[in-house]
Structures are given as C-alpha cells and as structure tokens.
Structure 1
Amino acid sequence: MNQQNGQRHRDEEERRASTSLKILMDISPSKNQTMAELRAKYKSGVSLPIGSPGETVMSLPLPERDGRKESRIKIGTWNVKTMAKPGKIYNATKEMRRLKVHIMGISEMRWPGTGVMDIDEHKVYYSGTQNDTHEYGVGFIVHKSFSQKIKNFIPVSERIIVIQIEAKPVNINLIQIYAPTFDHPDSEVEELYDNIAQIQEKIPKHEITILMGDFNAKLGKGNKTDYIGSQGLGDRNERGDMLENFIEHQEMVALNTFFQQPPRRLYTWRSPQDRPEKVVRNQIDFILINKRYRNCCTSMRTYPGADINSDHVPVIGEFRAKMKTTKRKTQKRCNMRLMKEPKIREEVSHILNEKMENVEENAPIEEQLEFINEMIQNIKDEYLKEDVSREKKKTWMTDNILNLMEERRMNKGNTIEYRRLNNQIRKEIREAKEKEKTQNCLEIEAYQRMYDDFNVHRKVKEVTGRFKRRQYGKLLDKDGKIIIEQQEKKERWMQYVEELFEDDRGMMDEITGDSGPSIMENEVEIAIKQMKEGKAAGPDNLEIEFMKLLNETGVKKLTKMYNKIYETGILPQPWLTSEFITLPKSTGAKRCEEYRTISLMSHLLKLFLKIIHRRIYKLCEEQIAPNQFGFLNAVGTREALFSVQVLIQRSRDVNSNVFACLIDYKKAFDRVKHEMMVEILKQIGTDARTINIITNLYWNQTAVLKIDGEHTDEVQILRGVRQGCVLSPILFNLYSEHIFREALNDMEEGIPINGIRLNNLRYADDTIMLADTIEGLQKLMTKIAEVSSSYGLDINASKTKLMIISKEQISSDAQIIVNQVRIERVTQCQYLGTCINEAWDNSQEVKCRIAKARNVFNSMDSVFKSHNLTLDTKTRLLKCYVFSVLLYGVETWTLTEAITNKLRAFELWLYRRMLRISWIQKITNAEVLRRMNKEAGRKILRDEKCKSLLY
C-alpha cells in the first residue's frame, strides 16, 4: 500500500512539474519529453527538490531563444586568511580567471572600513572593522560583466556583507559571512545567526537567497535530513548543531552536502596538524540556498588545487541563472581642468559669448534658463570631454609576479619549493612597490617644478592613500532593523527629512512695497569674481566657471534676467528644488540622524543670492554682537579660542572663579522658524524686494534626496536655513543674535571685564555661557533655554557640559539643571577642535596636537622618507600637512619652557626621520637643523604667534 501511495505521489509531482514547466518557462514540449527529462534527472543522483512540486523556475533548463543557450554562473566562497598582504587581491583575481568563477565571496578579508574598488577586470566589495584594525572582514570579488547587474550593496558588519543581483525571473541575494571561531563564545554565533535572520526577513520570499562563507561549524557525514544531505565530511560538533537549527529555521539547504564527491573535493579546511601520514581535514565552509531553489545548482565541489597561501580551499558551485539586461543612468562627466588651458578657455569663451547673444530677453525666465543650460551642456560635450585622468590606473603588479604565483600553485605539494617561491614572490612585490613609489615621487617633483599645486597634492594623496573614499554603510529603520531594499531606503530618508523639517508654518505673508534698487552690472561682475571654482554643480549641472567667461554683453543679459526675478520676486521653479546628498558624520553611521544632509543647488541661483548677500551683509553684521565669531569677515575659530583664553586667564589672575556651560543645540540650523526669520529681517530694515525674494525662496522650496544614485520624490522644507546657501550663515547669526538679545538683555550675571559683564562667547551655534557664580550660571541657562525653545531651538541637555575653572576646590554639589535634566560636569572637553580643561593647562592640548601631527606624518612616511623628493618639496609638504595640524590654536597657548621643549623635540623628531637619521647615529640637533636649513624650533612658534597678533 505504501509503495502504491508513493508511486501516486511521484506521478502527481511529475504531472505538476510538467504543468509548471509549460506555464512558467513559456515553452511547450511534449509531455513525454518533459517526463523523460525529469526521470533522467532523478536517476542522475541529484535529489528531488524540497518544498515545491517538481522543479522550480530557476532550476529548470532555460529555453534556447534565438540560438542563445542557458546562462550558467559560477559562484564560490573562500577563506583567504587575509587580503591585507600586498599582492593577495591580484592572486585571488588570477585564480578566479583560471577557475572561471564569476563571483567569489571572501572570508577573513581583513580590510578595514567599507567600500568598492576596481581591480583589473573585477570589482571588489568589502566590509571590515570601523576602528582601522585588520581583523575579520568579508567581501565579494565580482567580474565586471556581472558588476553592472548588482543593484544594491550592504556592508552589514565585519562579519556580514550582502549584494543583490538583478536576474530573471527573480533576483539573487548573496550573503557572505565569517562566523566566530571556537575561541569565541556561543553567544557571538547566536548573535550572528540572529543578524542573518533579520536580513532574510527583509528579502522578498520569492527571491533566491544564497548564504555562504566560513561557518566554523562541522555538519558531519551521514546526518541526512530535508535540509542537510548525506555527502558531508567528518563528525558533527556543537557548532554544527547550531548551524543545523539555523538552516531548518530559515528553510535552507547546505548544497555542499548534496553532491556526491570524493573526500578530496569535499574538505574546505586543512588543520595545522595535517600530515601525509595523518590527514586532518574538515568541511567548515558551506554554501546554502533556499530549499525551493535547490535544484538551480547543478554542481558543487571544492578546488584544493587553488592557491592563495591559505589553509582553506574554495567551494565553488555552478548555478543556472539568467541576468537582466540593465541600462543604468550614468551622469556625463567632463574635465573642468581643461578650462585652465588658454586655447580651450579662449574657444569656450568665444562660443559661450556668441551664443549668449541669442538669449531672448523677453522670454519667460524658465525658457531663458533652459536655453543657457542646453548651450553649456553642448559646449561641455564638445570641448570638455570625459576626464582622461579617470582612465584605468596603472598597477605595480607585473606578469613576472603572476607567473611566480602560478608556479607556486603548481608546487603546493612540495613544501620546500613552495616556501622558496613564496619568499621570492614577496621580494618581487617589495621591489615592484618600491619602483612604483619612486615613479610617483618623480611625478610629484615634476609637478612641483611646473608649480602645479593641484596635481602635487593629488599625487601626494594618491601615494599616501589619503584620498577620501566613498563610505558605504547599512541603514536602520526607526525600530533599529536593517533596511535592504532600495525603495525602502528612499522611503525612510523621505520620512526622516519630512520629520526633520516639519513645522506648523503659516501662509506666506504678502510683501508690499518696491523698495530696493535694481541690480547693477558691476554687482554681477563682482559676485562672479567672488564665486569659488571647483564646487559641485547643482541639479542643472551648470558650473560657475562658465559664468566667469562672460563678456560685457553676457553680463548684461544675466543682469536683465536677475532684475526681472528681483523685481517680481518670483523665482524660477528649477531654482526652488535642491538636491540633498547624505554624508556620514562619523565612521560607521547607521541611522539617518547620524548623517549630514548637504544641499546642492544651481550655481546661477548661488550667484543671484551672492548679490543679495552683498547687499544685506553690512546691515546684518551691524546687528551682530562682538562676542559672535562665526561666519564673519576677519574672525574665525582661532580668534574665538583666543578670546576664551584671555578671558579665563584674566579671571584666574585675580582669583575669580569661572563657571562655564558649553551649550549643544539639537539640529540648530534645521530648526529656524521661517516666520520669525522674516520678521527679524523686517525689524532691521531690510528692503521689501529682498524680503520678497527670501520669503518666496523659503516658502516654495522643495528637495529631492539622492540615495545610491537614485532620486526620491520631492519633499517640502518647512523650517531651517538652506544648507549650502550663501545667505544661510548670516541669516542664522541674525536669528541667534535675537535669541540671546531677548534672553540676556536685562541679565546682570556674567564675568566682570572692563566695566561690563560678559556672559557668553559664540561661534555660530557653539556657545559657552559664563558666570562667576553657579547661581548666576543657572539663571542664564534657564533664560536661554526658555527663549531658545520659543524660537524653535532646543538645547540638547545630554551633550551640554558644565566646567568649573578655579584655583580652589569647588564642591561636587555644584550643578546646573536644564529642562529638568542635570548637566554633566566634566574636567575637560572639546571646544572648536581644541581640548580645554578645568586646570586651564595647555600642556594637555599640546600633547593632543603632537599626537595628531605624528599620526599624519606616519601616514605619509612614504613621501617624507623618500629619497626621490628634494628636501625643499618635503619641507613644503611638512608645513602643509603636519605643521598645520600641530600648530592649530598656537595663538592661544601660554608657551612655558616645558611646552616649548616638547614642541622643539617633536620638530627635531620629524627632521631626523625626513633625513633618515638612525637613533644610533650620533648626530647633534644643531647638525640636524643645519642640514634642514632651519633655525631652532622656537622661531616657528614665535613667527606663528606674531602673525596672528600682527593681523
């Protein structure tokens, strides 16, 4: 009876498989042919599909259309022990070419940070630690023919990385992992599996998910279940039980265990105790797939002949899949540096001014802008073609080294010869890298002789690795769960921006009056000269460099267009939409709050607002108190620090206590209320036309966010000053000035100085409140918190700090309460990039400066210690990169003998390493200074301080 039931069940499966084949694959073979194919497959040793009747969409043979055969891709995983050693990445790509692997997942990559890199004809995606340590790490090496199909890349952690591939008929999700080893507690393994499960919850159930990597677990042989085959290796361990539970819960199958292979094609790891007389090898690397798609894998085995100097061997499977033909939108790039060449600049200027004469002055503003944009794009296409510097970068890797790697692979069985070849490869790599460094240094010298500072610094950053690479990271939703799908990312960002700029703003008031003189041509000319070059273009992709080429006729056309906008107060619609890009505030940013949104806007709009800024700057500056140092001409952070230093030092000289509260506002620039801002502009006497322009700009503005190359829908901005706008700094200063003026106008608390009481010092929103008693400081903070809140700015009590500078011992009971939260009292903290402390001792700050400068020097030692750069070039680079870090804030230091000696010792430490003088050589400091053509270190400090005082 059981046999009859089993036969009926198999017949039913075959019947349904035949039906699915016809419907899903859009082919119509005869029933007998389909049944024959299925029977042949069942007899071939490949197990029946689990969880679905017959075969699945992906497991069925793809039909031949127009003479094209089914697509097969080879996907593998490999623990390489480390990719941090020079040359190993090229070794990996060489092995991928030899084994014809399209995608290789890497465990123990050991590259810090996250990113994407091009290596030969491959693209490398990696995810490592966020603390710059070469530990753990995972990645993918993808052939470039497949890299265009990758629609998403998520570096989850140093143990998990995800890429999503667009395929037919369903997408493929690849997850590469590196599980903790046995010296780590089981709790870490459980946490890893929980994180993977969260990721899989976010992946659509109908899509293929392939999970692979070094699991550091043994499933063993003969433990056959619906999820684990009988072709395992060795004995199971406790981690293997944990892996099996995870596999069953996620309804996946371990593909390694379903394909019958000799033991040599099953083991993935060779123990250090492995010997010819005693074989110690295990299967701890696996490739898992959703059970419904198991049969899309046609083969799976290890390749012990592959070599990368690792004790693991790659596991590679062949899968039936078909990639989607995708055409991604790529922004046209142009080489704006070609504008520096006189001939090209002259030609572009001639064409530009000739076509500007055709701008129809009576046409609507939008049509004029469209004509200008189209004209400039045509010029860029013709004269400023794609930047040639973006061509494929030459590598130090040579064919000789690759041949030696192949020879080493052929001698894996000969330990002595293998070690000899490995040492030779390392020697060849050192020589090749030294040759490349020499060539780069010669190029730096060549640029230096041509006074080409741009390329000098570009090359220095290239040699020292100081280029800022794009940072990739995962994004969490409000509940702390990871976001995988691109659409969900865009929706989360839109939700965040809407909440960030949400406000109960009223309707825009009608501005009456036409006060405000028309814009003059010389105003446009001055504004064009003051605009900085090399800035990112806005949504219209128009750079200010072209406006700098306009002749008198072109300026006249631009002036008339600006006057038409200024007189009507109506801004063109393209100007009202900004493009937000997101930049992480710190390494490892995960939530939207941990990113900074930067606005990119049209350069023509920036130019127009620059004219408005020049008109209102003096009026606004007159309203700003002298204790505000932010965004003002002739003052900056150094002056703010100097003022704090002088004020507190004078208080200490007369034995007066200083109670200071360092205020931190929550998103201060994004919380400005538009109605109050416009009202303040009216109060100070701003003309009607300017107010009308600013009002229309803020009430009608929208923004789109650019997330991984894709734009979101428009979001309305209801509060906050515009990021990246030339008006924003002065408008914020004016706004905050009225807050402090209203709050502190009748307050008598503060520190007495020259007959007045000073109670605050500010740099933009970075504020220090000051008083000579704790009670006085409490009154100031209470009033500031109250008035700031009424203006929309809230104090972040958790980040606001209390510091007491006194020569006597102050009781720990002294406290400040803000918004019913006790402010933390600290002995030292950071203010404007410097370290200040209760003892008001500069020695701690000097130590920090020396440590930071030493880190910069060590990161650039390939330049400073090079024999191929002249001493003059190295000295200029030292002053630019190291001394600028070392001497920041030196104007505020009290230079004691001890501090001066520390700085002088560090300066000589730098010179000795630049001259490559060993510590065992008996070279005097005087001789070192003579060789460097320098005087004693005290002169540098004296010069820096005198410069500031003279200024």
Structure 2
Amino acid sequence: ATNEKSKNNACSFNIANEDGQPYDNNKDMSNYCNEYFANIGIKMANNIKIPDDFSSQIPPINNSLFLTPVTENEIILQINSLKKNSAPGMDAITAELIKSSHKQIVQPITHIINLIFATGIVPSQFKSSIITPVFKNGDNTRISNYRPISLINNFGKIFEKCLKTRLVSFLKNNNILSPHQFGFLEGKSTEDAMYEVVKEITDNLDSSRKCAAVFLDLAKAFDTVPHDKLLNVLHSYGIRGNVLKLFTSYLTDRMQYVRVNNCLSDPQEVKIGVPQGTVLGPILFIIYLNSLLFLNTSGKILSYADDTVVIFSGDTWDTVKEQMERGITAIKIWLDGHQLSLNAGKTKYIAFSITSKNRPNYDRINIERFSMVINEVYSIKYLGIVIDKNIKWEQHINKLTVNTRKLIFRFYQEIF
C-alpha cells in the first residue's frame, strides 16, 4: 500500500483550487499547495481556545544538555548511514556522491557541525526543504488529503543525526520520556506498542474488569505545534543556554518549496509545526507530547507518536463511562492548551468483552464541557492491526486473507 501511495504523490497529480477548479499550469498549482501547507497549522492553532484552567507547568529537571563536539569518525558513520537512493534536497547533492567523496569532505563537515554546536546558529541551507505531497486517502484533487514530507539536503541530515544522537542520549539518561511512548525511538516499534495495548486490555478482561479503549485522532498534529511552546517544553527538559539557542535557530526562518509535476513553487516561510520527513521532527514531536502521557487521568495512555490510545477499566460499565468522560475532558484540556486539535468525529472507543453478554447499555460518551460526542465502534484499525470488541482477531485475519489472495492473484497473472 505504501508503494502505491508513493506513486500517487507529487509525481503526477492535479490539485483543484478552493473552488474545485483545476489549475491550468503547474506553477500556480505548486504555489497553492505550498501556501496551504505553510498556513494550515497556523489556521488550526488559532482556532483552538486555550482553556482558562489549563496549566502548562512541567517540573523542570536540574540537568542541562551540553553538546560534545563531533569527530571525523562519527561523521563517517553518519555518512554511511545515509540511504543511497534517498532524494536530495535543494542543493541536489546526492547521498551517493557524498559517500563516494567522504574522505575529501569529512574534515570540513566535522568543522561546520562543530561550529554550529558552538555558535547555536543553523545555516539557512540546512533549513530549506522541498515538500513532496504524499496522498493519504479520500479525494485526490484536494490538497488537504495529502501529507507534506520534507526533503532536506543530505549535509543537513548529517547535522540532524549528530544532534539527535546527543538529544536522545540526554533524554534517556535523565529518564525524561514516558515508557508508554513507542514512536521513533531505538529499540521500540509498532509491535511493542500493539503488545502493550492488547496486554492492558486482556489483563483487565482476565481480572473480570470492564474495559474500554478510546482511540484518539489528532488532526495534523505535526503541523500545529507552536514553536514558542515547543521551546518552553525543551527548556523544562534541560535544553537550555546555547543548545536552546540552536533549537530556536533550527525552528525559525525555515523556508519550504513544494514540487508538483516536477515544478517547484515559490518559497514560503514555515512559522509553526515540526517538519515531517526530517531527522529531528519526530523526536521533537514526542518531546512535545510527552507530558500528556503523564497526565493524571483514570486511564492508561499509550502512544506511538501521535497514535494515542487511552484504556479505562472499572468494576461496572457505569464506572468506565464516568472515567472515560472525565479522562477525555482532561486530555482535551491538555491538547487545547498545547494547541493540538482533537478530531472528535474520528475519535472512537471500543468496549471490550469476551462474549456478547453483559455489554454496556450505552453506545456513546458525552464530553459535556466541549459539547463533544465520542461514538462506540466494534472494531478499529490501529497501527495496521484491526482490533475487535472480543479480541478474537477475526476481522484482522479476514483482512489478511483478502490481501494475501490479492497478492497470489497478482503473482499468478505475472507468471502465467
């Protein structure tokens, strides 16, 4: 499915304007796409009212991150880690060229990155990106149904890899990240996240407790992260002084272009969000989301990046309902305070039971404070797996069977 989506991205599509009319030239279309991607996060964030009772206090840690200088050996390792066939950024310098000339360029790259670490100033060339719109689903003429993926230059990737190594090491050594976050971290995967979700549900069922899980849907979560709030979070977590200056430089004055049908748009400044497709973007997002996973609710919050599940349990279904309504209210306050948008229409919950007996007598929960209704579903796709209300995996097995038959049919056609 991923390969099919990739074929339908910026290479050959025709986006319509706001009136539904197609563009007659690629330049206008690419400029429209770029304006949309650069401004959608600002529009969404501005529509979120920060609750009066929201508290953004994160207990600050005592330790601070200091950046050790990079060595030539480290730079060689990072050069070798570049994917040979990855698309280049604005400078058009390929990873293959960098790999083949690493002996000649390792010394100046080492010097430049150490200079960035020392001054806290990121070169503008490292902050320019080409956006490739990747189709998600729905109407393929609507730009809102595309995900912006950034292509940065390969020297910028090397810099970001070096910085990420030091940042992640600091976060781990100081036990800053929640153990319930499974996204974009070495040694953790979607399988680990799925295992914890299923284990939490089955443990409750085995203990004869009523159990329900709310699957949150955050709308364009990466795009609406305000830079000032992210920098405040980083400061609380020990990113201070010259290192905070570096991250401030990294996030500000970012310029992006959109390429559609091999046509490059005019540049747009990106004033909000963490860039998708970069090395640092995902880790910055999970840092921003981190305090949500420590939120005092009656449920257990588990996340793979922004794919978040909240599991509630109790002795009765009425207790579970009260916990869900109270817990989701607290989560909505946190999300609004961080200017992240909860998509109520796509947020669903499942009430789990081994048999069809003793089911709850309600099929929705009301978040009265926000005039929001969250509806029950009997199954949902989470991290590629279909979870059903009885944890019997029948729907997931059926899905795998259908997909396998399709693959066999394709192979049969190609062979014969």
TM-score, scaled relative to structure 1: 0.38
Q: Distance in 2 between matches of 1:771 and 1:711?
A: 48
Aligned with 2:18 (options 478, 494, 514): 478
AA aligned opposite 2:122: L
Q: Which residue of 2 aligns with 1:817?
A: 367
1:535 aligns with 2:86: yes
Q: Distance in 2 between matches of 1:514 and 1:582?
A: 35
1:575 aligns with 2:132: no
1:788 aligns with 2:339: no
Q: Offset of 1:852 from its aligned partner? A: 0.8
When residues 551 and 666 of structure 1 are mapped into structure 2, their CA distance, relative to the original with a 3 A threshold, is closer
- After superposition, where does 1:344-743 map in structure 2 within 5 Å? 468=7, 472-502=12-42, 516-550=67-101, 554-586=105-137, 588-621=139-172, 622-686=175-239, 688-741=241-294
Q: Offset of 1:836 from its aligned partner? A: 1.0
Q: Distance in 2 between matches of 1:761 and 1:515?
A: 30
1:380-414 deviations in Å (ceiling 9; x for gaps): xxxxxxxxxxxxxxxxxxxxxxxxxxxxxxxxxxx
1:801 aligns with 2:348: yes
Paired residues, number: 383
When residues 594 and 727 of structure 1 are mapped into structure 2, their CA distance, relative to the original with a 3 A threshold, is same
Whether contact under 8 Å (2:252, 2:271) holds in the other structure is yes
Whether contact under 8 Å (2:178, 2:293) holds in the other structure is no
Q: Offset of 1:784 from its aligned partner? A: 0.6
CA RMSD of aligned residues (A): 2.7
Q: Offset of 1:468 from its aligned partner? A: 4.0
AA aligned opposite 1:480: G
1:502 is paired with a residue of what secondary structure?
helix
When residues 628 and 573 of structure 1 are mapped into structure 2, their CA distance, relative to the original with a 3 A threshold, is closer
Q: Distance in 2 between matches of 1:785 and 1:636?
A: 26
Q: Distance in 2 between matches of 1:568 and 1:721?
A: 22
Q: Which residue of 2 aligns with 1:86?
A: none
1:763 aligns with 2:304: yes
When residues 820 and 479 of structure 1 are mapped into structure 2, their CA distance, relative to the original with a 3 A threshold, is farther
When residues 606 and 551 of structure 1 are mapped into structure 2, their CA distance, relative to the original with a 3 A threshold, is closer
Q: Distance in 2 between matches of 1:712 and 1:466?
A: 22
Q: Which residue of 2 aligns with 1:842?
A: 393
Q: Distance in 1 between matches of 2:75 and 2:336?
A: 39
Q: Offset of 1:490 from its aligned partner? A: 3.4
Whether contact under 8 Å (1:516, 1:688) holds in the other structure is no
1:123-164 deviations in Å (ceiling 9; x for gaps): xxxxxxxxxxxxxxxxxxxxxxxxxxxxxxxxxxxxxxxxxx
Q: Distance in 1 between matches of 2:161 and 2:197?
A: 32
Q: Distance in 1 between matches of 2:288 and 2:6?
A: 37
When residues 517 and 696 of structure 1 are mapped into structure 2, their CA distance, relative to the original with a 3 A threshold, is same
Q: Which residue of 1 aligns with 2:55?
A: none
Q: Offset of 1:792 from its aligned partner? A: 1.2
AA aligned opposite 1:802: Y
AA aligned opposite 2:191: R
1:776 aligns with 2:327: no
AA aligned opposite 1:762: S
Q: Which residue of 2 aligns with 1:178?
A: none
1:653-683 deviations in Å (ceiling 9; x for gaps): 2221112110000100111111121122222
1:698-727 deviations in Å (ceiling 9; x for gaps): 111111111222222211111111121111
2:106 is paired with a residue of what secondary structure?
helix
When residues 588 and 788 of structure 1 are mapped into structure 2, their CA distance, relative to the original with a 3 A threshold, is closer
When residues 603 and 813 of structure 1 are mapped into structure 2, their CA distance, relative to the original with a 3 A threshold, is closer
Whether contact under 8 Å (1:537, 1:603) holds in the other structure is yes
When residues 586 and 813 of structure 1 are mapped into structure 2, their CA distance, relative to the original with a 3 A threshold, is closer
Q: Distance in 2 between matches of 1:814 and 1:823?
A: 6
AA aligned opposite 1:500: I
Q: Distance in 2 between matches of 1:582 and 1:686?
A: 32
Q: Offset of 1:590 from its aligned partner? A: 1.6
Asked which structure has the greater RCO (Cα within 8 Å, sep 6+), the reply is 2
Q: Offset of 1:851 from its aligned partner? A: 1.1
AA aligned opposite 2:340: L
AA aligned opposite 1:533: K
1:647 is paired with a residue of what secondary structure?
helix
AA aligned opposite 2:16: L
2:402 is paired with a residue of what secondary structure?
helix
AA aligned opposite 1:615: R
AA aligned opposite 2:228: E
Q: Offset of 1:794 from its aligned partner? A: 1.0
1:179-230 deviations in Å (ceiling 9; x for gaps): xxxxxxxxxxxxxxxxxxxxxxxxxxxxxxxxxxxxxxxxxxxxxxxxxxxx
Q: Distance in 1 between matches of 2:231 and 2:224?
A: 14
- After superposition, where does 1:242-391 map in structure 2 within 5 Å? none
Q: Distance in 2 between matches of 1:692 and 1:524?
A: 23
When residues 571 and 654 of structure 1 are mapped into structure 2, their CA distance, relative to the original with a 3 A threshold, is closer
Q: Offset of 1:514 from its aligned partner? A: 11
When residues 734 and 810 of structure 1 are mapped into structure 2, their CA distance, relative to the original with a 3 A threshold, is same
Whether contact under 8 Å (1:663, 1:795) holds in the other structure is yes
Gaps of 5+ in 2: 47-63, 314-319
Q: Offset of 1:552 from its aligned partner? A: 5.3
Q: Which residue of 1 aligns with 2:317?
A: none
When residues 788 and 544 of structure 1 are mapped into structure 2, their CA distance, relative to the original with a 3 A threshold, is same
Q: Distance in 2 between matches of 1:862 and 1:536?
A: 32
Q: Offset of 1:483 from its aligned partner? A: 3.5
Q: Offset of 1:485 from its aligned partner? A: 4.1
AA aligned opposite 1:478: E
Q: Offset of 1:578 from its aligned partner? A: 1.0
Whether contact under 8 Å (1:514, 1:689) holds in the other structure is no
The percentage of counterpart residues that share the same residue type is 25
Q: Offset of 1:626 from its aligned partner? A: 1.5
AA aligned opposite 2:367: I
Q: Distance in 2 between matches of 1:798 and 1:813?
A: 14
Whether contact under 8 Å (2:41, 2:220) holds in the other structure is no
Whether contact under 8 Å (1:476, 1:591) holds in the other structure is yes
1:803 is paired with a residue of what secondary structure?
strand
Q: Distance in 1 between matches of 2:6 and 2:42?
A: 37
Q: Offset of 1:498 from its aligned partner? A: 3.3
1:518-540 deviations in Å (ceiling 9; x for gaps): 32223222322333321111111
When residues 801 and 575 of structure 1 are mapped into structure 2, their CA distance, relative to the original with a 3 A threshold, is same
Q: Distance in 1 between matches of 2:121 and 2:5?
A: 45
AA aligned opposite 2:339: G
When residues 561 and 522 of structure 1 are mapped into structure 2, their CA distance, relative to the original with a 3 A threshold, is same
Q: Distance in 1 between matches of 2:65 and 2:310?
A: 42
Whether contact under 8 Å (1:475, 1:489) holds in the other structure is yes
1:42-63 deviations in Å (ceiling 9; x for gaps): xxxxxxxxxxxxxxxxxxxxxx
Q: Which residue of 1 aligns with 2:60?
A: none
